[in-house]
Amino acid sequence: MIRTSVKMIGALAVGALFWFARRPKAAESAKSDEHSAAFCDNETDPENFDQTRSAGPEGMRDKTRRDWSKVDQAVDESFPASDPPAY
């Protein structure tokens, strides 16, 4: 009984190792991952010493899921101010 259990556990371990070694890798990003996702690829210039990105979707590394409204743009331009725009 114990030998059967040990063989079964061994077979499961070998199967798990094989699966982990052969599983598909995650798709690589076409964008540079050397900086934060908040920054567009051309905004990581060494002269950008305070690491502030431009406002708006053009300054973001990833595309937006929907078009930005005036409110979205104003909120992004006001960040990190304590008071959001009065819309």
Q: What is the value of pTM for the model shown?
A: 0.43
Best CA proximity match to 38, nearest among 67, 5, 69, 76? 76
Q: Does residue 14 form part of some domain?
A: no
- Residues of the chain above pLDDT 90, percent: 2
Tell me the residue range of the domain where 49 lies.
36-87
Residue 42 reports pLDDT greater than 70:
no
Give the total number of structural domains in the chain.
Answer: 1
Q: Does residue 40 form part of some domain?
A: yes
Angle at 67 between CA 62 and CA 72, to 5 degrees: 90
Average pLDDT for residues 50-58, to the nearest whole number? 77
Tell me which of 52 and 8 has the higher pLDDT.
8
Q: Does residue 12 form part of some domain?
A: no
Q: Does residue 86 form part of some domain?
A: yes
Q: Does residue 21 form part of some domain?
A: no
Digit-coded pLDDT (tens) for 57-85: 888 878 888 998 988 888 888 877 666 66
Q: Does residue 57 form part of some domain?
A: yes
